[in-house]
Amino acid sequence: MRLQKYLARAGVASRRHAEEMIRAGRVRVNGQIVTAMGLRIEPGRDEVTVDGRPVTGPGEKVYVLLYKPPGYVTTVSDPQGRPKVIDLVKDITARLYPVGRLDYATEGLLLLTNDGELTLRLTHPRYRIPKTYLALVKGVPDANTITHLRRGVKLEDGLTAPAGVRIRRVNQGNALLELTLREGRKREVRRMLATVGHPVIWLKRIKFAFLTLEGLKPGEYRRLTPAEVARLYRLVGLDFPPR
């Protein structure tokens, strides 16, 4: 098995991130640093470590749906010592990684898993996985602004893809918007709305693909059902159970 595939299946990282780790010299096979792509290993026989920690190989895949509260980072480490979302999942020993990110101030639905291949596909723009947000913004966008958001907003990293946008309600001169995006750019919702003159006051992701926060309070989580996992696999063209 190719090394990067082995790391992804072991839940260390997505295959793309595993390749970056290899190039950075963070991976050793039988004590030797490997930086070239394509090395084949024999699981169970070759010893693989990442940052000095052994990789035990593919095991049970874990899929968690978390209601992220504001004030948590979605990275697995934080130099500033801020609270991490993985600290909220206390009864699962598997090493989990977020599927995409929500910024520090944003709350809402976040998936965590050690399934690197599924993570890679769910976050890849090719698969156009819809993500729905509620955004309380300053002011009330007019019809032209809503059309602009729907058609795409020019950001520093290019034009955003068409999005679903509607006004849910208006209160005290500010609007609550519902937005559905199929991209995964960094802070995309906040940047879009700031660009059109309606900066975000509060932001929450309420839906990822078909998954919702129903039954969860901030900080709570649950495991996905086998049927939900199978449905995610089908969405991104993978066989379930994995071959």
Domain of 88 in residue numbering reads as: 63-125+210-235
Q: Are residues 192 and 135 in the same domain?
A: yes
Return d(Cα 187, Cα 153) in angstroms, integer.
13
Return d(Cα 123, Cα 226) in angstroms, integer.
20
Q: Are residues 203 and 215 in the same domain?
A: no
pLDDT level of residue 181 (50, 70, 90 thresholds) = very high
Q: Which of 103, 115, 142, 239 is catalytic?
A: 103
Mean pLDDT value across residues 21-30: 92
Q: Are residues 204 and 215 in the same domain?
A: no
pLDDT at 60 over 80: no
Query: What is the predicted pLDDT for the residue at 132?
Result: 98
pLDDT, tens only, 131-146: 999 999 999 999 999 9
Query: What is the predicted pLDDT for the residue at 44?
Result: 66
Mean pLDDT value across residues 177-184: 94
Query: What is the predicted pLDDT for the residue at 207?
Result: 98
Mean pLDDT value across residues 57-64: 77
Q: Are residues 41 and 91 in the same domain?
A: no
Query: What is the predicted pLDDT for the residue at 198?
Result: 98
Query: In degrees rounded to 5, what are phi and psi of residue 67?
Result: -90, 100
pLDDT level of residue 187 (50, 70, 90 thresholds) = very high
**Does 242 fall in a domain?**
no
pTM, rounded to two decimals = 0.76
Q: Are residues 135 and 203 in the same domain?
A: yes
Mean pLDDT value across residues 144-157: 96
Judge whether 142 counts as a catalytic residue: no
Report the number of distinct structural domains present in the chain.
3
Mean pLDDT value across residues 32-36: 91
Print burial letters for 206-227: b (CB count within 10 Å at least 16), e (below 16).
Answer: bbbbeeebeeeebeebeebeee
Mean pLDDT value across residues 171-190: 94
CATH number, domain of 137, equals: 3.30.70.1560
Q: Are residues 103 and 214 in the same domain?
A: yes
% of the chain with per-residue pLDDT over 70: 96
Mean pLDDT value across residues 75-82: 86
